Structure 1
Amino acid sequence: MRNYMKLETNWLFTKEPQTDVPVTLNESWETVTLPHSWNRYDGQDGKADFYRGKCWYVKELDLAGRKPAARVYVEVPAASSACEVYINGQKAVEHEGGYSLFRADITSYLKDKENILSIMVNNEHQDQIYPQMADFTFYGGLYRGVNLIYVPETHFDLDYYGSQGLIVSSSITGEKQAKVTLHAYVENPGESDQVLFTIYDQDKKETAVISRPAEKDTAAEITLTDIHLWQGVEDPYLYGVEALLVRHNEVLDEVHTRHGFRKFSVDPQKGFYLNGVLTPLRGVSRHQDRLDLGNALTYKEHLEDAQLIRELGANTIRLAHYQHSQDFYDICDEMGFVIWAEIPFISSMNPLPAAHENCISQMKELIFQNYNHASICFWGISNEITIGGDSNPQLTENLKDLNRLVHELDPGRLSTMAQVSQLSMEDEQNQITDVLSYNHYFGWYQGKMTDNEKWLDAFHAMHPGRALGISEYGCEGIITYHNDDPKAGDYSEEYQALYHEHMVKIINERPWLWATHIWNMFDFGCDARDEGGVAGRNNKGLVTLDRKVKKDIFYLYQSYWSKNPVLHICSKRYAKRAQDKITVKIYSNSPEVELFADGVLVEKRSADHVFVFENVSLNDGFTTITAKAGGLTDTTCFEKVTEPYAPYVLVEDESDTGVTNWFDDVDVTQKRPLTFDEAYFSIKDTMNDILKNDEASSVLVNSISSMMGMKLKKSMLAIMGSQTLEGMSSKLPAKEGVDGEAIISYINSELQKIKK
């Protein structure tokens, strides 16, 4: 029988370079417990210098309990981003890609005793491994643990792209009727071996039992009646499927999975249908990291994340921008979220053929390892990939190649991609996948909030046959900043609220949007960022990075999406008020809300989710404000002060933010000669080196902001890190009517005036 063991404790860890594969236990190394990331602190401190390199984990294997003749596998659920596994100094496997599972049969490398497992993990940049560049920290480590698996010589396959060895699919063939197809993949089947498939309902009662002779691909089909459908968050009903590998009267091996019966489709004019029921997909995107943990999460943290999303009332999650933990996919099956799962083909394409092969490999791993998850309905092939430029025709061909692969491997699900806002509506790439979404930040990085609906309506009118969604939208909100007159860029909780009030309203008015995903459910780590005085993270979350505080906008969406009563007084953290009268805003899904000040009724109002009470008088000292609706009560207090409380307002260094009119008095229509005096800065220098010099940084930030037509911060360019402007020059998107090559030549001429 299969035996599965977690290798969690007594690992020795070092960042020190090793001349040879370590085959002994060096007690001077740090002792760590898995899951582990070496960037849990420096990947979130905002210094843009988190450690990227080769690290080693070493452990002595305890093989007690191993049955004679059993095969022994090492299973690594994820290692970011390249990994080599050694047993007693001999390489058992190497893997490229930081988010998917891989295994190695280590039986032939084992000795009778004192076996040393050595694992090298490397998160430094490599041209052939995705992601190449992105707005999040590339945490290194064995952050999902390591496992040992014992199986007999004849067992269900463990070697095919990290898959389970059991695939279950179904098609709805009638009222409460479905055809179920099962495939179990057997290694070294004996002549009389059998595979016994059993399907259980959610109460563990047998629904069907099928016996088949064991083969390399043991297949079976059966039609079930009176099935219970998986109806998303409304009714996430799951069946259990068990495959036993039987020899005479002994079970040699067994695998288990779950299955949800569902069918789905997307109508470009109406939206998403689940089992024939129109189900607008409204939800969030999620990154997997946490404060002081990096991405080294346990089941407990994954479950808490999912519970918060369920509490919000969302019914869909975009799991950005890579394969997430099996724990989280399992929880999504159980809670009924409709999932968009994707690979880290993000921001920039490397033209190397090996890089495309890595994309293909990561897509195969994503699909084969997650095929059985009922929650997954969409495979994402890329995210904002044209940020790195779309002039290379190979990019479009690579995207088409990935789309073909998705349908070849899994014809039952739909393909999708997330486009950057600047990509033209007419671009050929918008016709590649089954459905499409755009990332838009009008009202934050550029433009006005109302540009969102203008753009959406224009695209929908231009392409009425294309299903369109919003894959990202959001703005930064930091809970210590507050403003009575909030504006884009002030990082206040009040502007974040205004922005999302607008967005949820226009989304509600456009049911044809097949899916919308807020960016982001949680603040997340990005070591290159320094936004709003908060270094090392992206602050667009509905909930803080430590999961301790729900921002006001959490309750806004809850009031729209949750079926439970919601009542929330906004701006409670804006506690000191230098006014005699204030405006009190309340989010609720009740049709009416009553507001009280120090126990006296101020007003009863009717509204649609957002209730605004103006000119509420404050008494001297503290005034208790109470809201009542639908049997709920929410209470807070505000203090009247004589002067505005200075820490509520961000005082930011404007030199860190670019302007969009840098070229108003400069002729950038002509290309300038490219000179490269190494004593001065040039486009051959890395982004990091240029940004360290104030004068050179000013030229770079202002020029690129003007070239792209959006105000960029220094920290956003720092994401490009060790890349040179020369290397990025063809990849930076220029606004319409702007000659990008001429501007790059201008930037170089200006940099050549600045001595290093």
Structure 2
Amino acid sequence: MRNLYSLNQGWTLSFPKGERETETVNLPHTWNAVDGMDGNGSYLRTTAVYTRTFKAPTQPLAGGRLYVEIPAAALKATVRINGKDAVTHEGGYSCFRADITDLCVAGDNEISIEVSNEDTPTMYPASADFTFYGGLYRGVNLISVPETHFDLDYYGGPGIMVTPKPTEDGGADFAVQAFVTNAGDDFTVQYILEDPYGWEIAGAVRPSDNTAVTLHVPEAVLWSMDEPNLYTVTARLNRRNETYDEIILNAGVRSFAVTPDGGFSINGVATPLRGVSRHQDRLYKGNALTAEDHYEDAQIIKDLGANTIRLAHYQHSQDFYDACDQLGFAVWAEIPFISVFKPGDAAHEHCRQEMKELVIQNYNHPSIMFWGISNEILIGGISQELVDRHHDLQKLVKELDPTRLTTIAHVSHTPTEGPMHHITDLESYNHYFGWYGGKIEDNGPWLDKFHAEHPDICLGVSEYGCEGIVNWHSSNPQRKDYSEEYQTLYHEHMAQVFEDRPWVWATHVWNMFDFGCAARNEGGVGGRNNKGLVTIDRKTRKESFYLYQAYWYKEPMVHIVGRRYAQRAGETIEVKVYSNQDEVTLFLNGKEIGKQQAHRIFRFEVALQPGFNTLMAITEDARDCITLEKVEKEPASYVLPEFTEHVEGVANWFQQVGSLDLDAPMEFPEGYYNVNDSLDELSHNEEAFAIVTKAVKLTTNFSIEPGVGMWDMLKKMSPKVMCEMMPDSTLGDKFLNSINAQLIKIKK
């Protein structure tokens, strides 16, 4: 029989380049758990070596084989047994294995795994807006199997494919095929199918060299996000009266479709997908999470009321996919073909490998319905090669899995007309109108215009969001103040935009949780992207979390907004209440002050009494209570100092360029810099680059420096493209003119 042994304890971690001292660690582990999010602006990208000894387990059957299984090693790994190479793998997010039987000896064996999170010429991701944590962050296993066993060698897959399909008579067909290594005449594969209640309802036996069969089930119990009913499929590799190997997995029966006007439907029921994106790291754990961590993340998302998750921007843990199967989410799973395109056959072959691993390893998960081809890949520009590579990936996915739909996440400035459309089955855009630039109110009209001009494209929004820091508060929230109040204002608008447009097939908040990005330093928090609805330590659910609960959660809920904005000044204040109920009554210090009927957001004008005040909101089936203090003046600590600097910076910028004619048409004199030059080109001139870095900091709050942070991702962009990507209405239409007017005075 197959036996799995954990090798997670007692590893020695050494750094051949000497960056850190040798230490003893247990798995899962990353060496960037702290520096990947500590705000120092960089983190250790190097090669490290994990080493330990083990005794090869005894297989009772002659000819047995021993495999090492690495669920993920970031980003490149070479496994050696007793000093001899067993396997090298590029790609930091997928499972790989190696047969190490012939490399092992009796007694103690040494396993060393050399892991690197450095960039390579061919590997994705190259550069992106998140930390590339290095390490063996999903553990290491040994798998002992008989000589004849279910396949362990094909792209890290499980050795079995199960394809359930509803039938017109209300039943379902389960197409099942297992893959046997060293199949023999006296081996058979037995399939056992159990319903969601544990009853055995179907079965079949096939010869080991011809295992495909279809099992029919009458009166099938369907899987959906509201009712994630799971069947259990068992495959047993038998020889005479003995089971040599066994695989057990869950499967779900569902059908789904997406149309441009109708949006998403599951099992024939129209169901707009409304949910979040998720990164896999946690505070000072990095990406080295336990199974319990993954399940808790999925449960928090379920508590939000979301029905879909975009798992960005790479293959996630099997533990999380399992949780999605069990709790009920429509999952978008994707590869890290992101931000920076690497030309050439070798890089594309790596991309194909990552796609094969993603699909083959995760084919059986009923929660997965969409395969993501790429994300924001036009940041560095477009080429015919890039377009061709996308067509090839689309073809590959359809060959691997014709049962699911493909999709793509376009960067915001991707032209609405052009060759990047009509490649995948579905399309989505990453838009941040109302945060990086533009106005919140730009979102709905943009969607309507695209939908009218492209009635044949199924359109979604794969990213949208804004930073929210729970320290910062304002009664007059504004873009770039990083206040929790502006984040709620933004999401209040977006939630209604999407509720009014059920034809938008899926929307995914960026992001469910704050996550590590060593290159960032904004909002007073370094090393993080703080757009999450929940903090990176999972301790605090921001006010925006409850806004989406009001829109999506099915159980009665009510939530008074502003408990961290605890000290308030003014004769009256606005108190907002979120609820999925139709009517809310608000009490101040035990006295009813108002009753309202509204849709999701209830607004009350309240005159607080001096000192401490108790506010209680009550609906028919839920209640919430908070305490606020009335003060003469609100604490200065509620305001981000950088926000004042930003406002002053805007005024100073135009004051400094006041002598320029910003109404004149833009000119591009030959031999001089202009806004069409890339950041890389501009960086070769100190004066020109100083203008551009100041403009970028003013509009995005990003600091750019050659070779640092997200430089590789941004260096091919021009100021013009950046302004198109993040149009800044607060600076006016003349902002790009003002940059160009300064640059064309500088000779190349």
TM-score (norm 2): 0.92
1:23 corresponds to: none
The verdict on how the C-alpha distance between 1:620 and 1:729 changes in structure 2, with shifts beyond 3 A counting, is closer
Question: What is the letter of the counterpart of residue 218 of structure 2?
Answer: T
Match of 1:62 among 51, 55, 58: 55
Matched, 1:147 2:141: yes
Name the CA distance, whole Å, in 2 between partners of 1:731 and 1:121: 40
How far apart, in 2, do the equivalents of 1:493 and 1:751 lie? 45
Structure 1 position 568 matched with structure 2 position 556? no
Matched, 1:511 2:502: yes
Aligned partner of 1:609 in structure 2 is: 600
1:642 and 2:632 correspond: yes
- CA gap of 1:381–1:747, structure 2 versus 1, over 3 A, is farther
User: How far is the alpha carbon of 1:633 from its aligned partner?
Assistant: 2.3
Matches within 5 A, 1:260-659: 260-390=252-382, 392-614=383-605, 616-652=606-642
Paired with 1:182 and 1:100, the residues of 2 have a C-alpha distance of: 24
3-state SS of paired residue (2:264) = strand
AA aligned opposite 1:53: T
Tell me the SS of whatever aligns to 1:488. coil
What is the CA distance between 1:729 and its match in structure 2? Answer: 5.8
Q: Distance in 2 between matches of 1:526 and 1:731?
A: 25
Question: Which runs of no fewer than 5 residues in structure 1 stay unpaired?
Answer: 19-25, 676-681
C-alpha deviation, 1:111, in angstroms: 1.1
Q: Is the 8 A contact 1:668 1:746 kept in 2?
A: no
Q: How far apart, CA to CA, are the structure 2 residues paired with 1:273 and 1:562? A: 19
Q: Quote the Cα distance in structure 2 between the aligned partners of 1:383 and 1:335.
A: 26
Select the residue among 237, 247, 250 that pairs with 1:258: 250
Output the CA distance in 2 between the equivalents of 1:387 and 1:683: 12
Equivalence map 1:14-413=2 (5 Å): 14-17=14-17, 29-67=22-60, 69-215=63-209, 218-232=211-225, 234-390=226-382, 392-413=383-404
For residues 595 and 740 of structure 2, the distance between their equivalents in structure 1, rounded to whole angstroms, comes to 59
Question: Using the alignment, how far apart are the partners of 2:218 and 2:279 within structure 1?
Answer: 39
Q: CA deviation at 1:16?
A: 3.0
Of 665, 669, 680, 2:667 maps to: 669
- Write out per-residue CA displacement over residues 499-540 of structure 1, whole angstroms, 9 at most, x where no aligned residue: 111001111111101111111111111000011011111111
Aligned to 1:21: none
Task: Give per-residue Cα distances to partners, 1:714-740, cap 9 Å, x unaligned.
Answer: 1699875464987666996563999x9
- The answer to whether the Cα contact below 8 Å between 1:61 and 1:117 also exists between their aligned partners in 2 is yes
Taking the aligned partners of 1:117 and 1:77, their CA distance within structure 2 comes to: 16
Over 3 Å counting, the alpha-carbon distance change for 1:249 and 1:746 in structure 2 is farther
Distance 2:707 2:600 in 1: 40
Aligned identity (percent) is 50
Deviation of 1:698 (Å): 3.9
How many Å separate the matches in 1 of 2:77 and 2:285? Answer: 21
Q: Which has the higher mean CA deviation after the structures are superposed, 662-671 or 581-590?
A: 662-671
SS at match of 1:100: coil
User: Is the 1:699–1:751 Cα contact (8 Å) retained in structure 2?
Assistant: no
Shift of the 696–141 alpha-carbon distance from structure 1 to 2, 3 Å rule, reads farther
Structure 2, unpaired ranges of 5+: 726-732
Contact 2:128 2:710 in 1 (8 A): no
Instruction: Verify the 8 A CA contact 1:134 1:719 in the aligned structure 2.
Output: no
The code of the aligned residue for 1:226 comes to: E
Q: Contact 2:89 / 2:96 at 8 angstroms: preserved in 1?
A: yes
- Check the 8 A contact 2:256/2:265 in 1, yes or no: yes
Shift of residue 29, structure 1, vs aligned partner: 2.6
Distance 1:368 1:748 in 2: 53
Instruction: Measure the CA separation in 2 of the matches of 1:81 and 1:106.
Output: 22
CA distance in 1 between partners of 2:719 and 2:524 (Å): 32
Q: CA deviation at 1:47?
A: 2.1
- CA distance 1:416–1:665, change in 2 (3 Å): same
C-alpha distance in 1, partners of 2:172/2:630? 65
RMSD over aligned CA atoms reads 3.0
Determine which of 703, 714, 724 is the counterpart of 2:703: 714
Q: Which amino acid aligns with 2:10?
A: N
Cα distance in structure 2, aligned partners of 1:308 and 1:735: 36
Question: 2:679·2:719 contact (CA, 8 Å) conserved in 1?
Answer: no
2:728 matched to which residue of 1? none
- Give the conservation status (yes or no) of the 8 Å contact 2:427–2:457: yes
Instruction: Name the counterpart of 1:678.
Output: none
Give the aligned length.
Answer: 727
Structure 2 residue matching 1:521: 3-state secondary structure = coil
1:444 to partner: Cα distance: 0.6
Kindly provide the CA deviation profile for residues 101-160 of structure 1, in whole angstroms up to 9, marking residues without a partner as x.
000001111111221000011001112111111110011110001110000111111000
CA contact (8 A) 1:43 1:526 kept: yes
Q: CA deviation at 1:218?
A: 2.1
Q: Give the aligned partner of residue 22 of structure 1.
A: none
Corresponding residue SS for 2:167: strand
Structure 2 residue identity aligned to 1:370: N
Distance across 2 between alignment mates of 1:685 and 1:134: 21
Amino acid of the structure 1 residue aligned with 2:222? L
1:16-73 C-alpha deviation (Å, 9 max, x unpaired): 339xxxxxxx9x8301010000001000012221000101100101324444532110
Q: Is the 8 A contact 2:309 2:508 kept in 1?
A: yes
SS of match in other structure, 1:41 = coil
SS in 2 for 1:327: helix
Question: Do the aligned residues in 2 keep the contact of 1:183 with 1:218 (CA within 8 Å)?
Answer: yes
